[in-house]
Structure 1
Amino acid sequence: MEDSAAVAGRLWDEWLPRSVRRLVGDVLPEGEADGRRLVVWLAGIHDVGKATPAFACQVEGLAQAMRDRGLEMRSREAMGAERRLVPHGLAGQVLLGAWLEERFGFGVKQAGQFSVVVGGHHGVPPEHGQIAAVEGRSHLLWTPGRSEPLWRRVQAELLDACADVLGVRGRLGAWRAVKLPQPVQVLLTAVVIVSDWMASSPELFPYFPEDVPRSGEERLAAAWKGLDLPGPWQPTVPAGPVEELFASRFELPPGASVRPVQEAAVELARQVDEPGLMVIEAPMGEGKTEAALAVAEIFASRAGAGGVFFALPTMATGNAMFPRLLKWLDRLPVSGEGRYSVLLAHSKAALNEDFTDLMRGRRIQALDLDGDAGRAPSAAGGAGRASAELVAHAWLRGRKKSMLSSFVAGTVDQLLFAGLKSRHLALRHLALAGKVVVIDEAHAYDTYMGMYLDRVLSWLGAYRVPVVVLSATLPAGRRRELVAAYSGRTAGPDGEGGFDAIADRGDYPLLTAVAPGGTPLLRRPGASGRGTPVIVERLEDAPEAVVGRLEEELAGGGCVLVVRNTVRRVLETAVVLRERFGPERVTVAHSCFLDVDRAVNDAALLTRFGPPGEATARPEGTHIVVASQVAEQSLDVDFDLLVTDLAPVDLMLQRMGRLHRHLRGGTGQAERPARLRTARCLVTGADWTASVPRPARGSVAVYGAYALLRSAAVLMPHLDDGPERPVRMPADISRLVQVAYADTAKVPAGWETVWEEARLRHEAHRADQAERAAVFRLGAAGRPGRPLFGWVAAGVGDADDTRQGRAQVRDSRESLEVVVVRRRQDGTLATVPWLAPDRRGRPRADLPLPTDQVPAAAAARTAASCGLRLPIQFSSPEVMDRAIAELEELYVPTWQAKDSPWLAGQLILALDADCQTLLAGFGLRYSPHDGLEVTRG
């Protein structure tokens, strides 16, 4: 009890961000001083429920010693399963509530808002039914009869002693009138959980020290030194001109200046009365990421936040963002002790070399009883870190603790999990409550994910967490939903800053800011000044038509991006293009590559097609990249010509953002081939000869007919008029998105029947998504003073970043993930043979994977990096079950060893010497150039 209380005090003083301390202190009579007392006291008493027969009976020898002192109890066997109905957390909640009511005159609800912290310290606050069940089982709290008064006295002595020693006896009377908001109850619970875990660590607090027992202060000092936990970020408000701020934080190209959107975002962040939600809508390539980080620094300094969480749509975009986050951290002024905990948050982070560099740089040390924690030489996880030390702290790498790191880049799932009823949800809320949250690509989330996101935003608003939302193509209705969810208001004054204004506003770029409970503010910065008119034309869907048109367009050379909506269409198109242009002039990019190959492919795309000055190997002559949707997000690539399947209009515009993205040879684009100096987008993937355009079947399966018809409808004037009416980038972005997603979208003549059928299917699908998402979605924060009983009732249990975990917050068909290895001709297994050495020069190709012993760590890790998600053909229940059964035939017991975790529990797909195999009736073939090809067996 003493150790837990002491740890809680140190966490409050040195680890919790100022914003969290302020949120707790603001509802207590003596502010943060009361907040510290409350946290320390609750941590000290959190295990008082162990002083009950139901818990004390577990070790017979110790139980008998207690019986000898008059504390009677039945044996563990005699109590049977009934004792599990009163776990010690629930018992402690009941004991504390009764003590507050009897000794200090608390009402039941008044006591409940404090006692629920004790009841929920194992991750799930008790439900009303569990609490009611205790009433008929008082023999589990104290043995009726002559020993009952003694049990009660022991329990009261413990609570009295904590009240006296921890200095709250004189405060409880004042706290009786306090109504703790539910967000504060959550944070108190989370801090108690963290304190409990630390104090329960025998490495930090040895049970049997060999020397003379130390005082509590000495024990705490040794443990805290051994833990060596980095403190929170403590930024100061960056002053001075915006240009100086950006020059000091980011590597701007020579001659580059701050974009109007960036300048306006910084000025708005400085001007708002209170940091809140800021939605930044601006074209692709306008530097929204840099604007978000600059705003995050200002918001953090003003709000007292201790870190940043950057949420991205996919693992690939998370991996791409992580080194950018590290570079930004390198350039920040040092604050506090100058050490920051950093995390890459997704299930395959341990395979990311930037993150593993940080993990190698520093490790938690075992406690030295002589007081010397034996700190390893400090390392920064990379070259050139002259500002702060960045560490992937070992204690913060656990599945439930990792988000407590100060700076995190990861998938949006980690954010959405905060809206999922699950065990230890309080820890996720504590992790977010002390940060600034940045949400990238906000338009990319469907109704199912959107319901979770809106609920999370409502809790972030309750925690007064600053949030920055980024999008190039956000419908105005969705903008309003995000603002309303965060602010807690759905209506407000009309006009310039009202909610009606943000729903109807079509300005672009646009900044929208709102504080919790506040009224929105709008800013309309200009674009960067360079516009690109894009001529859009129809193109027949047949691959031969694409080839013929490209032969014509590429007579003088050029770099072309062809975007298909399915992997199958990507590969079919690549075949015919290679027959005509040669395999060396056609590159394939899609989602069905090994993880390690996908990373290599993305890096190669940036090297060849990235911005001028950064792309060092842009092809001369002709080159064609055939890609799926992986080309839409987070890749700063630039092409001379675009061919794309019809897609929802916001995604069409994202794809157009890869066309003439940068100036090449001045305003006339003189460095591009003469025929391609005017930006053009050829739209295929539909039968344009029909009375109503008929999208390709695969595109309908991915996006639904309604979104594709709406896209075609808004693009039709541009398709009809061609050069006379180009899509003006960025001026037309918002107009096209708002019209396409408006509730009153105009239906083209003759489309009415097909349109209405598609709309009804779309609405039914959205209603189904909303209904299913509501099953495990967290409720909204209740009124202040209402105890957190049943907060995560009927939840999902543990939520984590696994395939099953992600399926709880994403409405996607379940898919199989496998680790791909190669079976040599002699029957032995090895890593695939084409892998290049790692960044340290160590080989990775064709490393042996013996089945009779634990593989070498380097070989096992390399194999684990060859993860592959099987495509949609394997998502039906029948095919999936058959595939799993066949994959489980290759079960290697030695690969399940605890000291070799890379391959444990993985499904292994072994390709033959020609990189082919059969699985569940399908033929699989893999190559590093084309990825996975699937055919009917």
Structure 2
Amino acid sequence: MAARSVWAKHDRDADGWLPLWRHMADSAAVSGRLWDEWVPGQVRRLIADTLPGDADDARRLVVWLAATHDIGKATPAFACQVEELADSMRKAGLEMRLQKQMADRKLAPHGLAGQMLLQQWLMERHGWPKPATLQFTIVVGGHHGVPPSQSDIHELKVHRGLLRTRGCEDAWRGVQDELLDAAAEACGVRERLADWRQVKLPQPVQVLLTALVIVADWIASNPELFPYFPGERSSDPERVEAAWRGLNLPRPWAAVEPEEKPEDLFTARFELPVGARIRPVQEEAVRMARDMAEPGLMVIEAPMGEGKTEAALAVAEIFAARSGAGGCFVALPTMATGNAMFPRLLKWLDRLPDERAGAGAHSVFLAHSKAALNKDFAELMRTGRRPVAGIDQDGADDAWAHRADERTASAELIAHHWLRGRKKGMLSSFAVGTIDQLLFAGLKSRHLALRHLAVAGKVVVIDEVHAYDTYMSSYLDRVLSWLGAYGVPVVVLSATLPARRRRELVEAYAGGKEQDAGFASVQTADGYPLLTGVAPGASPQLSAPGASGRGTDVEVERLDDDVAKLADRLADELREGGCALVVRNTVARVHEAAAHLRERFGDDRITVAHARFLDLDRADNDARLLATFGPPEKVVELQGRRPDEAHIVVASQVVEQSLDIDFDLLVTDLAPVDLVLQRMGRLHRHQRGEQQSDRPPRLRTARCLITGVDWEASMPWPVRGSHTVYRTHPLLRSLAVLEPHLNGTAETGHIVRLPDHISPLVQEAYGSEAAGPPQWRETMQRARDEHEQHRIQQRTKAEAFLLNKAGRPGKALVGWVEAGVGDVEDTRGGKAQVRDIRETLEVLVLQRRADGTLATLPWLSEDRGGLELPTGAVPDSRLARIAAACGLRLPYEFADPRRLDQAIDELEAECVEAWQAKESHWLAGELVLILDDQCRTRLAGFDLHYTRSDGLEVHRAE
């Protein structure tokens, strides 16, 4: 029969092939297994609610679309690619030209061709009106990651001979209809098509259907699971069962709604000490989650150290049980905060019940570009099964499969072998990652539907939401609008959230209008801590739980921006011992202060922390900070006690988030007020003795010295580097709201009271009312005008690739990601699409020793230092992995395009040719910065010096 001659897959090396009918059957079977065993209930319900036959219709629709997705391969434009197989089709009566005679065949990619064939079949054989067809057939058209545009459709209509050879139209049409008729019969949809004709599929449902077809296609296209052979048998159950067993996809989480009291729930999940009480904000979060009519968005605002993360996870458990979410994604600002969160998530998962008896393994993923270097995630990768070979047919290289040393059987939590890589990792049930992974869901890009499927079945937790500028917030708001459309439960966390931003988040998710009175109340609410809850399409509810009783009175005062005066003041404050934290806004200021303080106090009493350390060194820095200045019980466990002598940590913004560290004294550069308050959260963070009696007598009162400002100017003026990092307007507003406390004219004198003053200071600094002395007003207004212009520019720039909001039900996804960015990756270049940053270089830092050999830097911990790397061959896996962990991002001096190009040219000239081999999975394509035996080099006109104590220093070459 002609239909059985149509081919779908071909292996040029083995000369094996797979008939189209077989691949259609395989894909249909896989999609059914996915629907029954892998798709979260939250996604299944969303699709089912749009169809007249509910869940039964939804399953039939998914299976049918998977079965028909490759019908476009039954066209001359596709079939001509393999002459031997094409000739067999010609012998069966399907005439076609040679491939070289079809120069225009690229106008008929098989996805678009399939969309048009399915549309014609619905119209001609089932009487569908044309407008009703496109919302279904666009799923077929978009199954390779980009739904066709109107121009794509128009061009193929003009070149109809690509669908059916002229003069042989009837034979081609007969085969196409036969395959589609068989698929409709096998999938049980023939009798449902008449009812579906009246359906208007919401765009979110079209997106999810597309994503499910993509996943089914990728699995069914894997020759290790579904071998190629042209056999005549129907798709037997044994073939599908063997493939599914080999894939072994973990089922989604089936959450059990906790019924215990909040304090019992927190004790069970988070190892609270015996007799410890949960915080009021945690108790209220559980109550609000239980009282909401349906899961939606919850914004939790509470001070630093109040247990917001634990509250969010408890809420996620309740929301998941009620919504059918099959997992959870926690989004954080940086890789460092993601790495810090990952083990906390794993501990929570270890205690998390699942309503299915013997639920088996849960898939877990760490979603950032250096996840494979994370110890906890690497261990999970080792517990996964050995990966299968073929991954997807679109050329998406799954480097994770090569980077894992996977030999043991599945464990309770695993990094599943198939759910890895930049396109599939987020499909794991549980994930921690940078905010970029969430923002990518608002970026027009290839395979965007997969990113939507990845979040549509989860509860999403967004931490530190105040940390995102206008550019990133544009993407976040758009993603929230889609999450609301999907009915995805979301928990947003912040210690320092401006009221207007709170309202914007709620409106974006719930689809509120600016004039809605209910949303106006979200902005005027002044409680703190504060909880805001809203379900999609509903009015918000607010709750201000009582304070926990924890509080710190921080004395604030000015300090001249002079390193000599800084040293004098620290010497005076620390003469009885103690630990001080000095936070600078730029790495150059960190280095300047550290150098001067070392001269005064000695090298062993100064620690430096910033982002310009190798990945391995930075991880060690964080571990040392926690062991030395962390919670008392952790310090005792890891080190025994805090330093006996005075010690000073000089750091950049890396200490603002994720590190639970505690100091006796704080000196900070002026920053936006929310960040100043975050830094104050590292001051007297823990109780050390009764009434802080374990601290030196002079430092038992928390004190913050604010510097980085010319206090003698007619209007105090922040140092230049701070303007570069934060812009002038937020700095001046911070000065204005802190000025009464610095002058002692505030109601509390020189005291900033935490947490009582957090929200008032933030709301005043980010509000629209005038602030500061009258003589400052003109300067501040100019700064505001400049800042607003910058925000407009950011918003306009973000619009270039920003996904549209979901359209009306029934409107097809034609051109959904048109004019997008193509593929997007979790790299610096990819992040530049969702963050307003200039692309910089990441390099691996190695040393050329005096004898000419190449080695890792000598001091690296855990026996990783001073290891020689071969230059004539690919290093072994362990050595290559260590070298790959020596990554460092070059600073802003190299962000200028001309300087960037020069640096790339110089680094490429030093590349090790043997490391570019295909099997060098860790090192191929990486840029290597080679230091001399004194750890120095010159790059693009700058002198670079790297030390274990100070990280990378950069100076313009003389």
User: What TM-score do the two structures reach when normalised by structure 2?
Assistant: 0.94
Matching residue of 1:94 = 116
Cα displacement string for residues 515-559 of structure 1 (whole angstroms, at most 9, x for unaligned residues): 111110101112210211111101000111111111111121111
Distance between the aligned counterparts of 2:421 and 2:881, measured in 1?
19
**Alpha-carbon distance in 1 for matches of 2:107, 2:82:** 19
Give the conservation status (yes or no) of the 8 Å contact 1:492–1:519. Answer: no
Give the Cα–Cα distance (whole angstroms) in 2 for the partners of residues 64 and 207 of structure 1: 19
CA distance in 1, matches of 2:40, 2:302: 31
Q: Are the equivalent residues in 2 in contact too, given 1:109–1:787 (CA < 8 A)?
A: no
Q: Which residue of 2 aligns with 1:483?
A: 506
Does structure 1 residue 302 correspond to structure 2 residue 333?
Answer: no
Q: Whole-Å Cα distance in 1 between the matches of residues 145 and 223 of structure 2?
A: 21
Instruction: Output the CA distance in 2 between the equivalents of 1:914 and 1:108.
Output: 72
**1:366 to partner: Cα distance:** 5.2
Shift in Å at residue 143 of structure 1?
A: 1.4
Task: List per-residue Cα deviations over 1:230-271 (Å, max 9, x = no partner).
Answer: 010001101111111111101223542211111100111111
Look up the SS of the partner of 1:396 in the other structure. Answer: coil
Aligned partner of 2:217: which letter?
Answer: D
What is the aligned partner in structure 2 of residue 597 from structure 1? Answer: 617
Which whole-Å CA distance do the structure 2 matches of 1:46 and 1:922 have between them? 55
Q: Does structure 2 retain, via aligned residues, the 8 Å contact 1:691–1:750?
A: no
Q: Equivalents in 1 of 2:668, 2:564: separation in Å?
A: 15
Task: Write out per-residue CA displacement over residues 364-398 of structure 1, whole angstroms, 9 at most, x where no aligned residue.
Answer: 4659xxxxxxx975353xxxxxxxx0010111112
- Which of 752-761 and 48-57 deviates more? 752-761
How far off is 1:64 after superposition?
A: 1.9
- Does residue 42 of structure 1 match 2:65? yes
**Could you tell me whether the CA contact under 8 Å between 1:322 and 1:344 is conserved in 2?**
yes
2:432 alignment partner, one of 409, 424, 449: 409
Which residue number corresponds to residue 228 of structure 1? 248
The offset of 1:492, in angstroms, is 6.5
Partner of 1:122: 144
- Distance (Å, rounded) in 1 between the aligned partners of 2:407 and 2:594: 52
Q: SS where residue 106 of structure 1 aligns? A: coil
Instruction: Show the 5 A alignment for 1:411-426.
Output: 411-426=434-449
Q: 2:477: which partner in 1?
A: 454
Aligned partner of residue 170 in structure 1, secondary structure: helix
Match 1:634 to one of 658, 671, 684? 658
After TM superposition, give the deviation of residue 68 of structure 1 in Å. 2.0
Q: Deviations over 1:382-437 (max 9, x none)?
A: xxxxxxx0010111112211110000001000000000000000000000000000
Q: SS state of the match for residue 553, structure 2?
A: strand
Aligned to 2:886: 866
**Which residue does the alignment assign to 2:17?**
none
What residue is the counterpart of 2:364 in the other structure?
342
Are residues 1:435 and 2:467 paired? no
Q: Work out which of the residue numbers 646, 662, 666 in structure 2 matches 1:622.
A: 646
Using the TM superposition, give the Cα deviation of residue 593 of structure 1 relative to its aligned residue in structure 2, in angstroms: 0.5
Unaligned runs of at least 5 residues, structure 1:
368-374, 381-388, 838-842
Matches within 5 A, 1:129-528: 129-145=151-167, 147-208=168-229, 215-336=235-356, 337-364=359-386, 377-380=408-411, 389-491=412-514, 494=517, 498-528=518-548
Give the secondary-structure state (helix, strand or coil) at the position aligned to 1:888. Answer: helix
Q: 1:817 is matched with which residue?
A: 842
CA gap of 1:35–1:155, structure 2 versus 1, over 3 A, is same
1:188 is matched by which residue type in structure 2? Answer: L
- Give the deviation of 1:759 after TM superposition: 1.4
- Is 1:762 the counterpart of 2:787? The answer is yes
CA drift at 1:872 = 1.2
1:83 corresponds in structure 2 to 105
CA offset digits 1:856-883 (Å, max 9, x no partner): 2111111110100111111112221211
| Counterpart contact for 1:3–1:216, Cα < 8 Å | no
Kindly indicate whether the alpha-carbon contact (under 8 Å) linking 1:854 and 1:900 is maintained by their aligned counterparts in 2: yes
Tell me, in whole angstroms, the C-alpha distance in 2 between the residues paired with 1:32 and 1:254.
46
Q: Deviations over 1:1-59 (max 9, x none)?
A: 00000000000000000000000000100111100000000000000011111111111
Q: Does the aligned pair in 2 maintain the 1:226–1:365 contact within 8 Å? A: no
| In structure 1, distance between residues paired with 2:824 and 2:196 | 34
Counting only pairs closer than 5 Å after superposition, residues 668-683 of structure 1 correspond to structure 2 as 668-683=691-706
CA contact (8 A) 2:462 2:492 kept: yes
Q: Partner amino acid for 1:662?
A: H
Q: Which amino acid aligns with 2:183?
A: C
Deviation at 1:836, TM superposition (A): 1.4
3-state SS, counterpart of residue 359 of structure 1: helix
The residue number in structure 2 matching 1:802 is 827
Task: Tell me the distance in 2 between the aligned counterparts of 1:47 and 1:31.
Answer: 26
Q: Deviations over 1:777-796 (max 9, x none)?
A: 10000000001100000000
The one-letter code of the counterpart of 1:98 is Q
The letter for the 1-side match of 2:318 is I
SS at match of 2:814: coil
Q: CA deviation at 1:212?
A: 10
Give the whole-Å Cα distance in 2 for the aligned partners of 1:571 and 1:376: 45
| Structure-to-structure mapping, 1:765-776, within 5 angstroms | 765-776=790-801
Determine which of 664, 679, 682 is the counterpart of 1:658. 682
* CA displacement 1:767-786 (0-9 Å, x = unmatched): 11111100001000000000
In the alignment, the residues of structure 1 paired with residue 477 and residue 379 of structure 2 have an alpha-carbon distance, to the nearest angstrom, of: 35
Give the drift of 1:693: 1.0
Pair 1:854-2:874 in alignment: yes
Aligned equivalents of 1:492 and 1:168: distance in 2? 45
Kindly indicate whether the alpha-carbon contact (under 8 Å) linking 1:479 and 1:502 is maintained by their aligned counterparts in 2.
yes
The answer for the alignment partner of 2:807 in structure 1 is: 782
Contact 1:554–1:622, Cα closer than 8 Å, also in 2: yes
* Residue 44 of structure 2, aligned match among 6, 21, 34: 21
- In 2, Cα distance between equivalents of 1:882 and 1:595: 24
Tell me the number of residue pairs that the alignment of Structure 1 and Structure 2 aligns.
Answer: 911
* 2:95 equivalent among 58, 68, 72: 72
What is the letter of the counterpart of residue 89 of structure 2? Answer: M
TM-score (normalizing by structure 1): 0.96
Name the SS for the 2:632 alignment partner. coil
Please tell me whether residue 32 in structure 1 is matched to residue 63 in structure 2. Answer: no
The equivalent residue for 1:372 is: none
1:649 and 2:673 are equivalent in the alignment? yes
CA distance in 1, matches of 2:725, 2:864: 36
1:433-459 Cα distance to aligned partner (Å, 9 max, x none): 000000000000000000000000000
- Are the counterparts in 1 of residues 662 and 686 from structure 2 also a CA contact under 8 Å? yes
| 1:718 has 2:741 as partner | yes
**Structure-2 residue corresponding to 1:740:** 765
Amino acid across the alignment from 2:200: K
Between the aligned partners of 1:476 and 1:307, the Cα distance in structure 2 is: 30
Question: Are residues 213 and 850 of structure 1, via their aligned partners in 2, closer, same or farther at CA, if it must alter by over 3 Å?
Answer: farther
Letter in 1 for 2:329: F
For residue 724 of structure 1, report the CA deviation from its aligned partner.
2.3
The CA deviation at 1:491 is 4.3
The structure 2 residue matched to 1:911, chosen from 905, 919, 931, is 931
